């Protein structure tokens, strides 16, 4: 009976681990923003926070490990938010993605998702909340989650880390252009999306470049500290 319960719990955890970021969250963000527009974003934010928490708790087995990860997530989120605020005068040049990626590589993709999602939400109290917030939460969260999945090569090979940073900047810009189209058009419009992408190319380049710069600057010192914490506390 105990073995069966353990197996069922593992199945549910696996289903949530993949179903939340790849099914529930995209439906919440895209369909909610499409159909409800400005009325959606407050509920969308609450939904993203709740699902991010559930996803985070699927990433560990022991309660003590979970509490330690929560402390690390809180610290990295605070650093991410502070970095975005400090570099606010420079458009598109922020350390938030780099910190999310570094967290995910060393502590896990679920933790990276939580840091990315909460960093978007909290920093937007300074930058401005709006219908774009759930999209930013999902975009930065997924960048962290995917970095966790690719943690092996990203941790060992600096070239792959740089390439992932550039890719994350491009992917973030392309996804936020989806919000632009849904917001201005109220539905899918490919010509408008192409126009939005072309218009945003300078910002896309800035996102990619800033990710590479901050990963080169922060990757080693932050990684070394997180590696020590991971080894010392068994996170």
Domains and CATH numbers, the chain: 2-233 (1.10.1760.20)
Contact 108, 69 (CB under 8 A): yes
Q: Identify whether the C-beta of residue 104 lies closer than 8 Å to the C-beta of residue 141.
A: no
Please compute, for residue 17, the number of CA atoms within 13 A of its CA located in the half-sphere on the CB side: 18
pLDDT, tens digit, 9 for 90 and up, residues 57-110: 887 655 556 688 899 999 999 999 999 999 999 888 999 999 999 999 999 999
Separation CA 230–CA 225 (nearest Å) = 9
pLDDT, one tens digit per residue, over 150-204 is 999 999 999 999 999 999 999 999 999 998 888 776 677 889 999 999 999 999 9
Burial of 3 (0-12, 13-18, 19+ CB in 10 A): exposed
The helix/strand/coil state of 64 is helix
> What does the alpha-carbon distance between residue 174 and residue 181 come to, in Å, rounded to a whole number?
11
Q: From the CB of residue 181, how many other CB atoms can be counted at a distance below 10 Å?
A: 21
Whether residue 52 is predicted with pLDDT greater than 90 in this model: the reply is yes
Q: What is the pLDDT of residue 23?
A: 93
pLDDT at 163: 98
pLDDT of residue 182: 82
């Amino acid at each position: 009976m105990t073995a069966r319960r353990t197996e069922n719990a593992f199945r549910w955890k696996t289903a949530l681990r993949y179903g939340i970021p790849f099914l529930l969250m995209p439906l919440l963000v895209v369909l909610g923003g499409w159909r409800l527009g400005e009325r959606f974003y407050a509920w969308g934010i609450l939904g993203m926070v709740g699902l991010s928490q559930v996803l985070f708790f699927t990433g560990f087995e022991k309660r003590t490990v979970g509490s330690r990860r929560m402390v690390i997530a809180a610290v990295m989120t605070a650093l991410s938010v502070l970095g975005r605020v400090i570099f606010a005068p420079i458009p598109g040049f922020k350390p938030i993605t780099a910190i999310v990626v570094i967290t995910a590589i060393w502590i896990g993709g679920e933790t990276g998702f939580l840091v990315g999602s909460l960093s978007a939400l909290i920093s937007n109290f300074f930058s401005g909340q709006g219908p774009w917030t759930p999209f930013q939460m999902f975009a930065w969260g997924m960048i962290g989650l995917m970095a966790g999945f690719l943690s092996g090569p990203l941790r060992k090979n600096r070239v792959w880390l740089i390439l992932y940073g550039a890719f994350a900047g491009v992917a973030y810009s392309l996804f936020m252009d989806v919000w632009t189209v849904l917001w201005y058009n109220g539905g899918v419009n490919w010509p408008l999306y192409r126009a939005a992408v072309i218009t945003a190319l300078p910002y896309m380049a800035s996102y990619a470049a800033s990710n590479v710069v901050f990963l080169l600057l922060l990757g080693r010192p932050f990684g070394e500290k997180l590696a020590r914490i991971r080894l010392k506390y068994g996170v």
